[in-house]
Amino acid sequence: MNTPAGPPPAVRPYGDTTGDGMVQLSFTLPLPHGALAEGTALQLARQMGMDRPLLVHARPVGTEFTFCVVYGPVVHEVELDSVDVVEREYPLLSSQEVDEGLHNNLGRDCVVVGACIGTDAHTVGIDAILNIKGFAGQKGLEYYHSMRVVNLGAQVSVPDLVHRAVRENADAVLVSQAVTQRDAHLTNVRELSAELDAAYAGRPRPLLVVGGPRFDPAMTADLGVDRIFGRGTTPDDVASYLVHALTVGRSRVRELDLDPDLDESVHDGESATVGEDAEETAGTTVSADRSLL
């Protein structure tokens, strides 16, 4: 019986034959359609490492732009040992395991507050994660018996989201960002992280989880978030992460509570604030049919 061979130490793209390096690339040039635009497209492809590129498509976009598609072999290969990826460090759980994990560790419902922030009105991603109808055959977080989902919808300002997170005594804040022009998604998330830090000064803040098609999962520290989810994320990915993260987080809080050198005034202030928030949220009714992430 033949044992399947492992991956090679380095790879190139596959087109017609293994290792031929063939790729197809599309882009738009700020030039009117014509010979200059087509020649520029080929020169750009060469400078990007494409050997003997072919221009297989070029069409005008209005009067001042040209959309181009080039095809050809790249000269580069990728050493697999040099590739850094963010692996999932927690198991995927069933809905029953999620409910048991959260109730056993929190002793109450997990409060999730979410929104699309800034000018972002694209709720497809947040709907897929939080709406009870879910995505890819999976129920959203509103379905779980162990979660209370507060849905703020689209175009929510950062101060409003932070205020609601404090008011609801949130365990996790979920944000979806699809608008990425001029890196608006990065600016918005950094602002949210800073305002959460300020609002929760002296006490643990909620988990900050962000998602969107153009986030780099390796940028958690740079953005000041706990987790970044990208394309293809399903509700059970997020639910399983919340169980994992909140279990670890509560363990750390218990360690702090047992530390005799910890400033008692921090705990006193924390308890008073949480009590005030609990009073504010008493009797609050949360709609379960609005979409979040």
* Full DSSP string of 127-166: HHHHSTT-BTTB--GGG-TTEEEEE--SSB-HHHHHHHHH
Alpha carbon separation from 88 to 227, 240, 244 (Å, rounded): 11, 10, 11
Residue 51 structure tokens: 């050997």
**Enzyme catalytic residues:** 133
Q: Is 190 exposed, middle or buried (0-12, 13-18, 19+ CB in 10 A)?
A: middle
Q: Is 232 exposed, middle or buried (0-12, 13-18, 19+ CB in 10 A)?
A: exposed
> How many helices and strands, by DSSP H and E, does the chain display?
8, 10
